[in-house]
Amino acid sequence: MTLAAHPTTQMHAVLQHAPIGAVIVDTAGMVSWFNAAAAETLGEPNAATLRHSLIYARLSESEAENLRQLLEQHFAAPIDTRTRQIGLIAADGTAQVVELTVAPVPNEYGRYAVLYIQSLTRQVTAERRFVQIFENLPLGLIVVDGRQRIVQTNASLKAIFGYAAEELVGQPLDMLLPDRYRDAHGRHFVGYTAAPSSRMMGSGRDLTGLHRSGQEIPVEIALSKLEATNQPLFLAIVTDISGRKRSESALQQTNAQLEEFTYVASHDLRSPLRGIGDLVTWIREDIGEDNLTTDVRHNFDRIALRISRCEQMIDDLLSYARAGVRDMHMERLDPRELIEEAMSMAMIPDSFSVEIDIAGGTLTAPRAPLSTSLRNLIANAAKHHGDRSGRIRVAMREEGRFSVFSVEDDGKGVAAGNEERIFKLFHRASPGTEGDGVGLAFTRRMINAHGGMVTVQGHGPLGGAQFEIHWPRILLREFDDE
């Protein structure tokens, strides 16, 4: 732009290409000069319109008054610089926050001042985003200073401990700790501030926080140092793990009860069954085979068969209990070989045709539980088919971190509403077939114990039931570390 000669022409040349906006105004607030960065910040497509305009026109009434006072103070004592944040309205009507610094113009003291304008839009936007993330994160966040005083918390933290914001800010951090932890926590905090690092707190130990009600809450806490210019600040990320602890406790109780039950079944039930079997044998011998009528002999055979089935049920229950333990022996498995192995053990009748479709590579997994699961599903496809002959399709594909094995048939399928019920212990999908209803429950328990899942579609593409095993080919850390 072409400007008239001015005593501060040399200053103009210096500021013309500065990355920060610069505007020279007189005592009335009239713009006498500006640089390109100022025009861009003010959103002026026609920069020439800025010259000889009032700087106050870019401000709201209250902000204009703030700037007038700032300039009056400056011209009254134009030696020092003064800085203030104000809201500015750009030419297109958008509002933004800027930082204004008023400085004297060399050789023009008392007549002109230079306003350095720096847009804080990006900074304000970043701060707002941080506040939104901080406040809405579904984890408890708490910021403390070097004296262990609470500086800031978010909604989740307040919900975890049952406090309002005004009850926490400015208070000592140990108000959220049970009494027995407070002395040790103070020492640990001092040690952490001396060598801060991002880490989990109390690794390997159960930690609890103190709720406003006086109850203790099981928590996990991660610590990190925050960058701060005036004082050290530290961030604690608090997770309420009450639900997880309840689930773990319930699972432990269930497993303990199951172990107790299977112990009773294997010892206290098997022994009486054998005793009954012996008594039946002795009675039969005492009567003599020649004296047994056809009906009596048939009844004795029925008793022996039912004793055998009860013993088999006990064995199945023991297998079901053991199915909850993961097999740690990992192998590199070829899916086709695995399926063919399972098929050979399932003993499919020759009247059934079996199709294998592989669309995935090898996987690392324990052979026994995966092979057993496939064998059970393939055998069920024939046993519960509904006809003496049919078609079975076994396929494998990769989906995310899982290898997905599907077993489907063209039989009668699974009735609507029974998709989950068939996985229950002692539920028999087909009352007319052999078995005690443990097979599918055993299969699901074994698959779940290894981080997978099994589902069923009552009527799949072939018309009959379609079972899918999602087996992890990429293990999560929780399984790798066990």
pLDDT of res. 32? 87
Whether the predicted pLDDT of 470 surpasses 90: yes
Longest CA pairwise span in the chain (Å): 138
Of 17 and 348, the one with more pLDDT: 348
Can you identify the CATH homologous superfamily of domain 9-124?
Answer: PAS domain (3.30.450.20)
Please check whether the two domains, 9-124 and 137-240, share a CATH topology: yes
Find which of 180-189, 313-322, 337-346 is predicted with most confidence, using mean pLDDT: 337-346
Whether the predicted pLDDT of 313 surpasses 50: yes
Residue 324 binned pLDDT confidence (cut-offs 50, 70, 90):
low
CATH code of 331-480, in short, is 3.30.565.10
Residue 96 binned pLDDT confidence (cut-offs 50, 70, 90):
confident
pLDDT of res. 427? 66
Residue 74 CA to residue 268 CA, distance in Å, equals 97
Q: Read off the pLDDT of each residue in 325-331 and give the average, rounded to a whole number.
A: 79
Whether the predicted pLDDT of 119 surpasses 70: yes
pLDDT of res. 465? 93
First-last CA distance in the chain: 72
Q: Read off the pLDDT of each residue in 396-403 and give the average, rounded to a whole number.
A: 91
Place of tokens 């050290």: 232
> Which of 8-22, 63-77, 255-269, 282-296 is the least confident region?
255-269
Q: Whole-model pTM? A: 0.49
Q: Half-sphere exposure (CA, 13 Å, Cβ side) for 327? A: 17
Of 90 and 210, the one with more pLDDT: 210
Residue 479 binned pLDDT confidence (cut-offs 50, 70, 90):
very low
Of 195 and 382, the one with more pLDDT: 382
Residue 380 CA to residue 346 CA, distance in Å, equals 9
* CB 456, CB 469: distance < 8 Å: no
- What separation in angstroms does the CA of 424 have from each of 318, 429, 436, 444? 16, 10, 11, 9
Whether the predicted pLDDT of 231 surpasses 70: yes
Per domain, the residue ranges of the chain are: 9-124, 137-240, 245-322, 331-480
137-240 belongs to CATH 3.10.180.10: no
Of 476 and 365, the one with more pLDDT: 365
Q: Read off the pLDDT of each residue in 424-430 and give the average, rounded to a whole number.
A: 68
pLDDT of res. 169? 92
Residue 434 binned pLDDT confidence (cut-offs 50, 70, 90):
low
CA-wise closest residue to 258 among 351, 195, 323: 323
Do the strands 453-457 and 390-399 form a parallel or antiparallel pair, or are they unpaired? unpaired
Residue 88 CA to residue 61 CA, distance in Å, equals 11
Mean residue pLDDT of the chain comes to 83
pLDDT of res. 153? 93
Q: Read off the pLDDT of each residue in 442-453 and give the average, rounded to a whole number.
A: 88
- What separation in angstroms does the CA of 252 have from each of 19, 220, 247, 316, 453? 65, 20, 8, 21, 20
Residue 354 binned pLDDT confidence (cut-offs 50, 70, 90):
very high
Query: DSSP secondary structure string, 71-138?
Result: HHHHHHSTTS-EEEEEEEE-TTS-EEEEEEEEEEPTT-TTTEEEEEEEE-HHHHHHHHHHHHHHHH-S
> Which of 3-7, 219-223, 382-386, 443-447 is the least confident region?
3-7
Whether the predicted pLDDT of 45 surpasses 80: no
Whether the predicted pLDDT of 48 surpasses 70: yes
* CB 355, CB 393: distance < 8 Å: yes
Q: Read off the pLDDT of each residue in 344-352 and give the average, rounded to a whole number.
A: 88
Q: Give the orientation angle of helix 294-322 with respect to helix 270-287, to 10 degrees.
A: 160
Of 45 and 411, the one with more pLDDT: 411
pLDDT of res. 480? 45
